[in-house]
A and B are shown apart, each in its own frame.
Chain A
Amino acid sequence: MRPGDSVSWPHVHRPRAIGSHAKQEVPAIDLSDPRVALPRARTTAGGLVKSLLLIGAALTVALIAGFGGVVVLRLAIPDLPAWSGLLIGLLALVFVLWGISRRFAWIMPWYYVLPAIVFLLTFTFFPVLLTIWLAFTDYAGARNGQLSVATTTPIVAVDGNRITVSDPAGLNCEVLRNGCVDVRAEVYSFDLLAVTAVDYADGVLTLAEPLPRGREARQVEMFLPDLGFEFSTEIESVDGALVRLVSAPPFAPDLERIGIQMADEVDRRIVTLDGAVLTLDASLPADFEATAIARYNEYGFIGLSNFVSILSRAQRSLIPVFAWNVSFAVLTILINTAFGVLLAVLLNNPDLRFRNLYRTLLIVPWALPNIITIQVWRGFLNENFGVINRVLMLFDITPDPINWLGVAMAAKGAVLLVNLWLGLPFMMTAVLGALSAIPRELYEAAKIDGASAWQGFWGVTAPLLRTALVPITLTGFAFNFNNFNLIFLLTDGGPPVDWGTATARGTDILISWAYNEAFRSQGGYAYGLGSAISILIFVITVAVSLVNFRVTGALKEESNT
């Protein structure tokens, strides 16, 4: 059926009874159905390409308007926040769309979807693309593209475009890919400006007149008469004549004797580095009194190196982490499903009084926010003082207290145990839902045929439940495969093990390993490596979901319409 065929519209949802999954027939088209003849959305005239072109054009105009608007308005209002560009762009978008819709009325359906598309593009799709690109770079904490203030090194001599620094080690070149070759840098010229202030209170200095524009104020030096000392501190921010200090002086400063260190800076590129002599891509301005230089944390394209390094260390990280990730997801689903089915079958007994009360009581772990309960469990699992070990010891279940968070095997057990407590209510409720969809008549028919309750269970409940369990367990698998909160907040991926690395430890799953690589290791390839792992996770998640969609037919119905 082609999209836009009127006979398939409107699409009517067909609720299905459990057990009828296998044989889903496409319903015959009933032309006497009054809905079939009703007007369609005004859609088919345009076509996909034309719609996308128009919407793409509108978004481009909005993007340009947003960027341009901020750039232009900043000439008048220098402190304009960048997010105002979002509002300008939005306004432009509405205007352009209104214009388009007057000319092409058939584009209307896209307008309903557009707000969602814009947000998905900006806050999901764009970050994903950026992440994928970063997987092919050496982006890391030490190479984040920002100016590295820590590498500020004094300059001792200038000769055209060749400058000599006092201590080349201060530039910390070895963390960059090619040392300091072809790296952006700022050359500074510092001098002390003598000013007077009118007031000082709570870390804010009010100057007699605003600081000159165009130069950066870095430090304040002031004299404390009570102490007879000079005191100097960094500047947090400057707002006209108001200077906010990073740390407040311990005594009142002399308002007449205040020096503010001002910096001029020029942007250059380091071409070569030879001992203490740097060659820049261009010489400095004639009247520029160069005093210091700082480099940028440059990062760049490194091809497949991140993936190669994952594979080269696979024995110590990828393989064991992946194996535990899969076995965790499978085991936790098996355990939770077993207990969930047991409870649900018991609670599904219509003779059981208070069964609604029981159900309500049993879902309490689900009703508590897991971000809180997981962290409390961390305390319960403490080796020496945790209540779990106290109970186990009291009843002599274990001969010695278990070091839940300190031994890899025990930590894995703890993860499964806590996830049983957290996940059982969901499983129980889902299975109860599936059980209640089994028609009572089936049991009665079985009874009339002389089946006992036991036979009724194995002949009716079990086969129908098995069909319903497939999507439940697949959803649970996909969720637990990426259950970051549980691992991160309960064991933090720990404890460290000999076979692992600093970032891939006893209970780390792929996603927590990726997080550790990206945000916690300051090593050679941090973030890019994390991105590479998350691409792997994405592929696995999509595969599981595809199986799930195939089983439930959720998307198949869609493609027919």
Chain B
Amino acid sequence: MRHPDRRAFAWMALVALGTLLGVWALLGNLPEPVVRDRFVVVPNGWAFVLGAFALLILGTAASAYTFGLATRPGRAGRYALTSGTHMFIWGVILTTFYPVLYLLAVSFNRNDTLAGALPREGNLFVRAGVIPNPTDISTVQYEKVLSQTHMLPFQWVLIALLVLAAVGIFGVKLAARVANLPAYRTDGWTRVLGLGIFALAAVIVVSITPAQFYGVTEAGARVPASSERTILLYIRNTLLVSGLTGMFAVLIATTAGYAFARMRFEGRYATLLSFVFVQMFPGFMALVAIFWLMVQLDLLNTFTGLILAYSGGAIAFSAWIFKGYLESVSPALEESAMVDGATRWGAFWRIILPVSTPMLLFIFLLQFIGTYSEFILANTLLQGQENWTVGMGLRNFTTGRFDTQWGALTASAVLGSIPILLIFYAFQDALTSQQTAGGVKG
């Protein structure tokens, strides 16, 4: 075991200073930018940036190593590795986030065209157009895409309540963190507020109607809404379809999953196999057949038809997951209930369903998120613009009209992403572990 060597502090200071100076020198001596075609180019800029990044990682690692020598020599190597990792990860995070931040920045920018001329003022990044001009910050894009949405007073009240509940749940979490409260003191609040959020969101989604979307001319007459100004209606449609598909899948799949997990009957294995393999047929290649079916049932261009069409794939998958979950739950509970005289259905209804509420929620959310991003079936079955989903609404922007609608597209994209982003992060651990479990466990 080596002893700490206080002199290493001096080395550390030297290395850190050297790193900073080196990075500063590299970035400060970038060649003069030139304009080539429509682009601002820093000749050989990549070498300077890559060099600075590498120097930053190595320099940080080296100063952490010398710090380790000065304090705990046995761990100096680890200090170096860990601090180098921090730098590297931040580089990755920056790269990953850049498109997201750029999207956000464009949506808060006055410029509506992708093809606008580059600004001549501002720093290098602004002049190169890799970050939007900060002097043009504005909410005009959001005002534009929401301008033909007319919310009713009671919907504003519901939205206010929703925001309050969301703030409340955040406050509870924060309070629990700060005051170090035990889970049993906060769980009740979290559950009530969470249910409240779900209920309010459901009521808002159901209460919004296509009739609330219209333009008003200067003379005060109502005109039909333009397809680029009704993103909120598309979001509402998508939430409605995804929510109902999720609920439907849970409703139908739980009994099947239960039977597969807990009952033994002839044909069980064959049925299970056919569930797994039938849904491997590329679902949307049955499009014409589904289209034909919906025409026969008079369900074309209705949400009911779309939800029924989604249900085929959703049910097999959900039943499979629920079966897997139940197999990890001990059957002792239901058995004791059945010994006490409960019927099998009673055991399922009163014991299994309450116990598996979290699992049912996750099946719902998985289906919800999956359906939100479905494009092709919706595109085939829904025809009227007032029935469009988010994906179809955005597709309407991207088919050749970037030039005039770039700002509106980005604002719509941000608005359309918010529901899923919130759900994903609210249930992050459960969702990620559930989705990757399929890959790990098979």
Contact surface of A with B, Cβ cutoff 8 Å = 3-5, 8-13, 15, 35, 38-41, 43-44, 46-48, 51-52, 81-83, 85-86, 108-113, 115-117, 119-120, 122-128, 130-131, 134, 139, 343, 346-347, 349, 351-354, 358, 360-373, 375-380, 382, 384-387, 389-391, 393-397, 400-401, 421, 424, 426, 429-430, 433-434, 437, 453, 468, 471-472, 475-476, 482, 484-485, 488-489, 511, 514-515, 518-519, 527, 530-531, 533-534, 537-538, 541-542, 545, 548-549, 551-555, 558-559, 561
Q: Is the CB of A379 within 8 A of B402?
A: yes
Q: Is the CB of A368 within 8 A of B319?
A: no
Q: Is the CB of A397 within 8 A of B46?
A: yes
Q: Is the CB of A365 within 8 A of B256?
A: no
Q: How far is the CB of A103 from chain B (nearest CB, A)?
A: 17
Q: Is the CB of B374 within 8 A of A393?
A: no
Of all chain B residues, which has the CB nearest A43? B265
Of all chain A residues, which has the CB nearest B328? A13
B120 interface residue (CB < 8 Å to A): no
Cβ of B390: which chain A residues have Cβ within 8 Å of it? 369, 371-372
> 9 nearest interchain CB pairs?
A552-B442, A127-B286, A534-B285, A124-B312, A13-B327, A112-B259, A127-B289, A123-B312, A367-B424
Cβ of B335: which chain A residues have Cβ within 8 Å of it? 35, 38
Given A127-B293, A351-B78, A367-B425, output 12 extra A-B contacts at Cβ < 8 Å: A12-B330, A109-B263, A115-B256, A120-B315, A123-B293, A351-B81, A382-B402, A394-B45, A394-B128, A476-B439, A489-B395, A537-B282
B283 interface residue (CB < 8 Å to A): yes
Q: Is the CB of B266 within 8 A of A46?
A: yes
Looking at the complex, which one of B92, B93, B100, B332 makes contact with A368 (CB distance below 8 Å)? B100
B211 interface residue (CB < 8 Å to A): no
Cβ of B156: which chain A residues have Cβ within 8 Å of it? none
* B 310-338 to A, binary, CB cutoff 8 A, 1 in contact else 0: 01110110010000100110111001001
Q: How far is the CB of B427 from chain A (nearest CB, A)?
A: 10
B179 interface residue (CB < 8 Å to A): no
Cβ of A421: which chain B residues have Cβ within 8 Å of it? 96, 99
Cβ of A41: which chain B residues have Cβ within 8 Å of it? 262-265, 344
Looking at the complex, which one of B288, B297, B299 makes contact with A134 (CB distance below 8 Å)? B288
Q: Is the CB of A116 within 8 A of B256?
A: yes
Cβ of B93: which chain A residues have Cβ within 8 Å of it? 358, 361-362
Q: Is the CB of B89 within 8 A of A82?
A: no
Cβ of B81: which chain A residues have Cβ within 8 Å of it? 349, 351
Looking at the complex, which one of A86, A116, A488, A537 makes contact with B252 (CB distance below 8 Å)? A116
B369 interface residue (CB < 8 Å to A): yes
Looking at the complex, which one of A9, A134, A366, A396 makes contact with B264 (CB distance below 8 Å)? A9
Q: Is the CB of A51 within 8 A of B266?
A: yes
Cβ of B103: which chain A residues have Cβ within 8 Å of it? 376
Cβ of A51: which chain B residues have Cβ within 8 Å of it? 265-267
B255 interface residue (CB < 8 Å to A): yes
Interface centre among A119, A366, A378, by most chain B C-beta atoms within 10 angstroms, is: A119
Cβ of A8: which chain B residues have Cβ within 8 Å of it? 264
Looking at the complex, which one of B45, B129, B258, B331 makes contact with A395 (CB distance below 8 Å)? B45
* B 421-436 to A, binary, CB cutoff 8 A, 1 in contact else 0: 1001100100011011
Cβ of B282: which chain A residues have Cβ within 8 Å of it? 482, 511, 514, 534, 537-538, 541
Q: How far is the CB of B166 from chain A (nearest CB, A)?
A: 17
* B 272-296 to A, binary, CB cutoff 8 A, 1 in contact else 0: 1101111111111111111011001
Q: Is the CB of A81 within 8 A of B441?
A: no
Cβ of B92: which chain A residues have Cβ within 8 Å of it? 343, 362
Main secondary structure of the interface of A (DSSP, over half): helix
Rounded to whole angstroms, the CA-CA distance of A131 and B283 in the bound complex is 11
Q: Is the CB of A367 within 8 A of B421?
A: yes
B398 interface residue (CB < 8 Å to A): yes
Q: Is the CB of B436 within 8 A of A530?
A: no
Cβ of B39: which chain A residues have Cβ within 8 Å of it? 389-390, 393-394, 401
Say which one of B133-141, B182-190, B197-205, B405-413 lies at the interface with A: B405-413
Q: Is the CB of B402 within 8 A of A426?
A: no
Of all chain B residues, which has the CB nearest A112? B259
Q: Is the CB of B432 within 8 A of A429?
A: yes
Asked if A131 meets B288 with Cβ closer than 8 Å, knowing A113-B255, A363-B428, A382-B114, the reply is yes
Interface centre among B103, B114, B339, B439, by most chain A C-beta atoms within 10 angstroms, is: B439
Looking at the complex, which one of B102, B331, B417 makes contact with A35 (CB distance below 8 Å)? B331
Rounded to whole angstroms, the CA-CA distance of A43 and B263 in the bound complex is 8
Q: How far is the CB of A516 from chain B (nearest CB, A)?
A: 12
Of all chain A residues, which has the CB nearest B40? A394
Of all chain A residues, which has the CB nearest B320? A554
Rounded to whole angstroms, the CA-CA distance of A468 and B312 in the bound complex is 31
B207 interface residue (CB < 8 Å to A): no
Q: Tell me how many residues of B have a C-beta within 8 Å of chain A.
A: 134
Asked if A385 meets B115 with Cβ closer than 8 Å, knowing A434-B440, A488-B375, the reply is yes
Cβ of A401: which chain B residues have Cβ within 8 Å of it? 37, 39
Asked if A131 meets B338 with Cβ closer than 8 Å, knowing A126-B293, A346-B89, the reply is no
* B 90-118 to A, binary, CB cutoff 8 A, 1 in contact else 0: 00110011011011000000000011100
Rounded to whole angstroms, the CA-CA distance of A384 and B402 in the bound complex is 12
Q: How far is the CB of B399 from chain A (nearest CB, A)?
A: 9
Cβ of B309: which chain A residues have Cβ within 8 Å of it? 123
Looking at the complex, which one of B115, B296, B328 makes contact with A384 (CB distance below 8 Å)? B115
Of all chain B residues, which has the CB nearest A124? B312
B260 interface residue (CB < 8 Å to A): yes
Cβ of B177: which chain A residues have Cβ within 8 Å of it? none
Q: List 9 A-B contacts (CB under 8 A).
A: A5-B264, A51-B267, A82-B297, A115-B252, A351-B81, A376-B410, A379-B402, A390-B40, A394-B124
Q: Is the CB of A131 within 8 A of B266?
A: no
Asked if A370 meets B373 with Cβ closer than 8 Å, knowing A83-B297, A131-B285, the reply is yes
Q: Is the CB of A485 within 8 A of B375?
A: yes
Cβ of A362: which chain B residues have Cβ within 8 Å of it? 89, 92-93, 96
Q: Is the CB of B41 within 8 A of A128?
A: no
B268 interface residue (CB < 8 Å to A): yes
Q: Is the CB of A365 within 8 A of B311?
A: no
Q: Is the CB of B85 within 8 A of A43?
A: no
Q: Is the CB of B420 within 8 A of A352?
A: no
Q: Is the CB of A394 within 8 A of B265?
A: no
Q: Is the CB of B290 within 8 A of A127?
A: yes
Q: How far is the CB of A560 from chain B (nearest CB, A)?
A: 10
Rounded to whole angstroms, the CA-CA distance of A426 and B270 in the bound complex is 32
Q: Is the CB of B395 within 8 A of A375?
A: yes
Rounded to whole angstroms, the CA-CA distance of A353 and B263 in the bound complex is 48
B308 interface residue (CB < 8 Å to A): yes
Q: Is the CB of A393 within 8 A of B40?
A: yes
Looking at the complex, which one of A13, A387, A429 makes contact with B324 (CB distance below 8 Å)? A13
Looking at the complex, which one of B89, B130, B270, B373 makes contact with A387 (CB distance below 8 Å)? B130
B298 interface residue (CB < 8 Å to A): yes
Cβ of B298: which chain A residues have Cβ within 8 Å of it? 81-83
Cβ of B420: which chain A residues have Cβ within 8 Å of it? 367-369
Cβ of A123: which chain B residues have Cβ within 8 Å of it? 290, 293, 308-309, 311-312
Cβ of A485: which chain B residues have Cβ within 8 Å of it? 373, 375-376
Rounded to whole angstroms, the CA-CA distance of A419 and B39 in the bound complex is 26
Q: Is the CB of B255 within 8 A of A115?
A: yes
Q: How far is the CB of A556 from chain B (nearest CB, A)?
A: 10
Of all chain A residues, which has the CB nearest B414? A372
Cβ of A11: which chain B residues have Cβ within 8 Å of it? 261, 327
B269 interface residue (CB < 8 Å to A): yes
Q: Is the CB of A43 within 8 A of B266?
A: yes
Rounded to whole angstroms, the CA-CA distance of A519 and B381 in the bound complex is 13
